[in-house]
């Protein structure tokens, strides 16, 4: 539970519930509803996205991975308008990644391409071996701290996507998130599999993390069940490629 209005939480679930409740009660949450149980959309998401691209390396990136979540629609749109190639993971990584190339999309259709529901009309599927080295990453979040901790809705997909790229031989890329101001809390426990945030952008401010947290070195296969692997075929494919089977 939260302690004495300090914003310190003993568990991620407590932080998630507090954030979801506050966004709804204070009228900050935006469709789709319900806000609970998802990466919540929020008032000012467009402003947070614009603020993000004021900062290197996001400003200078060519290849940016952006989550498919609703508030990051504005990040995807801004990236396309700035001429960046956007890589979007499909839900549960079931279909690998989508590639949005502004050179192949009419500018009048950028908004459609950035919207999750209509993205498929303009996206190209990308095989694992064809994924480019990413210059920067943008993840959706439920709660974050100014020290770079992040928690999503609890499924761990963004963390797995990051670890997957490392397993494929990619260099670590800096990770940012766009959130409402209310989503920045004082503290909650972190895990060794968590994404390390380097930048947090809200509608009113940017928080550069002073010292980057250590991120995962790769996928912790022992923590994944057969059901997890079955639900995410791309992970099973990577596991089979490993010389020792990664068991």
| Residue 5 reports pLDDT greater than 70 | no
| Residue 241 reports pLDDT greater than 80 | no
15-48 pLDDT, tens per residue? 999 999 999 999 999 999 999 999 999 999 999 9
210-228 pLDDT, tens per residue? 876 678 889 999 888 888 8
65: in domain: yes
DSSP letter assigned to residue 13:
H
167: in domain: yes
Task: Report the number of distinct structural domains present in the chain.
Answer: 1
7: in domain: no
Q: How many whole angstroms separate alpha carbon 180 and alpha carbon 165?
A: 28
* % pLDDT > 90, the chain: 70
| Residue 156 reports pLDDT greater than 50 | yes
Instruction: Give alpha helix (H) positions in the chain.
Output: 12-25, 45-52, 73-81, 110-114, 157-167, 226-231, 233-241
Residue 203 domain boundaries: 12-241
- pLDDT of res. 2: 43
| Residue 6 reports pLDDT greater than 70 | no
58: in domain: yes
Q: What is the CA radius of gyration of the chain?
A: 17
172: in domain: yes
Higher model confidence: residue 215 or residue 61? 61
Higher model confidence: residue 226 or residue 122? 122
- pLDDT of res. 213: 67
1: in domain: no
- pLDDT of res. 247: 46
3: in domain: no
140-155 pLDDT, tens per residue? 999 999 999 999 999 8
- pLDDT of res. 242: 67
| Residue 93 reports pLDDT greater than 50 | yes
5: in domain: no
- pLDDT of res. 106: 98
Q: How many whole angstroms separate alpha carbon 115 and alpha carbon 92?
A: 18
Report the pLDDT averaged over residues 114-131: 92
Average pLDDT for the chain:
91
CATH number at residue 65: 3.40.50.10420
Which residue spans within 1-123 are E strands per DSSP? 29-30, 41-42, 63-66, 85-89, 97-100
């Amino acid at each position: 539970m939260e302690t004495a209005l300090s914003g310190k939480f003993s568990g991620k679930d407590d932080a998630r519930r507090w954030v979801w409740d506050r966004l709804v009660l204070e009228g900050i949450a935006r469709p789709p509803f319900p806000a609970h149980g998802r990466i919540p959309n929020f008032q000012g998401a467009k402003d947070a996205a614009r603020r993000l691209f004021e900062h290197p390396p996001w400003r200078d990136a060519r290849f940016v991975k952006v989550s498919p979540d609703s508030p990051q629609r504005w990040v995807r749109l801004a990236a396309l308008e700035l001429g960046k190639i956007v890589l979007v993971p499909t839900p549960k990584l079931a279909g690998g990644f989508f590639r949005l190339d502004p050179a192949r999309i009419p500018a009048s259709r950028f908004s459609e391409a950035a919207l999750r529901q209509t993205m498929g009309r303009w996206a190209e599927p990308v095989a694992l071996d064809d994924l480019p080295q990413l210059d920067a990453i943008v993840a959706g979040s439920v709660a974050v701290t100014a020290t770079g901790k992040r928690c999503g809705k609890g499924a761990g997909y963004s963390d797995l996507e990051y670890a997957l790229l490392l397993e494929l031989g990619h260099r670590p890329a800096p990770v940012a998130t766009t959130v409402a101001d209310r989503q920045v809390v004082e503290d909650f426990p972190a895990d060794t599999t968590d994404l390390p945030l380097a930048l947090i952008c809200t509608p009113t401010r940017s928080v550069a993390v002073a010292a980057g947290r250590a991120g995962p070195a790769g996928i912790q296969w022992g923590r994944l069940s057969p059901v997890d692997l079955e639900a995410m075929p791309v992970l099973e494919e990577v596991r089979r490629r490993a010389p020792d089977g990664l068991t």
